[in-house]
Structures are given as structure tokens and as C-alpha cells.
Structure 1
Amino acid sequence: MTIAEWCVFGTLMLSLLTIVSVKWAGFRSFDNARPRDPDFYDDPIRSRALGAHQNGIETFPFFAFAVLLAEYRDSPQRLIDELAALFLIVRLAYVLTYLGNRPTLRSILWSIGFAINLGIFLLPSIRGYLTS
């Protein structure tokens, strides 16, 4: 597996760990029979963790597809790997700013992550201009 493919896996795990961590931390008040109970997410940190988790689920398909497309279309693997690792780092920072209630920085990081993802997606289109 390539580094980029491991980053796809890491991005998926990050989105899952974001919500699992608050469920574990609130194990006494979390009812697994009612996992979507809105009362559990009344706590501000839990609410932000849910938001970060949902955003992770929303961004994952485009990232995974972009990586696979770039690899399938023979874009420079080293560049794909570097951009995918950068995306994962930005996503981690995004989650931390979401949990830390830093909305402006969070939006900036989301935009950077989207630009990185777009760059991976467009690599097949510009690979002729890149040196290997």
C-alpha cells in the first residue's frame, strides 16, 4: 500500500475516533441503545465532536476518490503521498480546532484541506506539466 492509501485509512480512523472518544469519556451518560440521543450532545464539547465527526464523514469520499483517481491515472506517486499526508495533518488540526471552539481557524483549515484535496484530484490533468 502507498503512503496516500494509508492516509485514506488514517482519515477514516480520525473521523471515527473523534466521536468514539467523547462517547468513551461520557460512558456513564452515553446510552448505546439510543446512540443518536440529542440530549447526550447537549454538552458543548460533545456537540463539537459530533460536528467534527460529521464533517469527517462528509469530506472522506472526495478525498478517497481523489487519491485513488490520481493513483489510477499515473500521477506522480511521491506528490500524491505528500499531499495526502498534508491533508491528514490538516484534518487533524481541523478536528482539534473544532473541539477547541476556534471557528475562524477551523474554517481556514477546512479551506486549506479542500484546496489540498482539489490538488490531488486535479493531478491527472496537470501531470504533463510536472516533472517526475
Structure 2
Amino acid sequence: MIVSTGLTLAYWCVFVASMLPIVCAGLAKWGMFGKARRDGGYDNHLPRTWLASQKDWRARANAAQANSFEALPFFIGAVIIAHQMNALQVRVDLLALAFVLLRMVYILLYVANQASARSVVWAMALAANIALLFV
């Protein structure tokens, strides 16, 4: 049985994009919850300080979290504007889906320290978002 929420695919993409920073934060903290603070484990008393002190892939996951938050306002605005302008829904949905998928790839490339490929994917996601705004 399929339950209709009345949300378009583009609006569901907004939801998924809004969850990406949380996924990045979880990734940065992965495996550190059970470790004692004195041994470098996650410090819930000073979470931002702890995250700022991380190195390598954890630091990159935290940076991906910040960048994911930075990308959200433009994406949310573009989706809302496209809906308000009665843009062709299929185009809106496909561009929103492309943006989210590219952002997921971007996060993976960021954590994997693939800087050049990450930058290319970032630009592609930005282009999809700009296209969405003007669709």
C-alpha cells in the first residue's frame, strides 16, 4: 500500500538534503561513542571542541557537514521558487534528485580525500541547483 503525503519528489529531496549534515556529523563521530573521553572518545560535554580537534577523515566528515549546511538554503529556496513558478514538475524533481545524489557523492569524495573530484562534483551540484532555480 502506497501512502500519499502530497509532497513532490523535489520536496522529499529537500528532506534528504536536510538530513545530510546529520549523516556527516554521525560519520565524524563514528566508533567514538564507546571510547572514554580521556582516551580521545567522543566528548558530548564539548562536542564542537571535540570535532574541531579531529584529524584526517573525521575532520573531513565534519567539514562536509558544514558545507552541507551551507548548501541547504540555496537548494531549499530553489525548490520552493520552482514550485511557486509552476515549473514543469518532472524537471524540478529530476534536478532536485540530481542535486541530492551529487551532494551524496560529494560527501563520499570529501571523506575519501579526493579533492579534485570533490570540487568537480561540488560544481555539478551547484549547476543543478542554479538550473533548478531557473527551470
TM-score, normalising length from structure 1? 0.88
1:6 paired residue among 12, 20, 26: 12
Query: CA separation in 2, counterparts of 1:122 and 1:39?
Result: 37
Unaligned ranges ≥5, structure 2: 1-6, 36-40
Counting matched residue pairs gives 123
Q: Which moved more, 1:94-103 or 1:41-50?
A: 41-50
Q: CA RMSD in A?
A: 1.3
TM-score, normalising length from structure 2? 0.87
Residue pair 1:41, 1:50 contacting (<8 A) in 2 also: no
Matched, 1:32 2:44: yes
Structure 1 runs (4+) deviating above 3 angstroms are: 38-41
Unaligned ranges ≥5, structure 1: 124-132
Structure 1 39/86 Cα, relative in aligned 2: closer, same or farther at 3 Å? Answer: closer
Which secondary structure does the structure 2 equivalent of 1:75 belong to? Answer: coil
Percent identical residues: 34
Cα shift at 1:38: 4.8
Cα shift at 1:59: 0.3
Query: CA separation in 1, counterparts of 2:82 and 2:22?
Result: 25
Residue pair 2:17, 2:72 contacting (<8 A) in 1 also: yes
Query: CA separation in 2, counterparts of 1:45 and 1:25?
Result: 13
Letter in 1 for 2:8: T
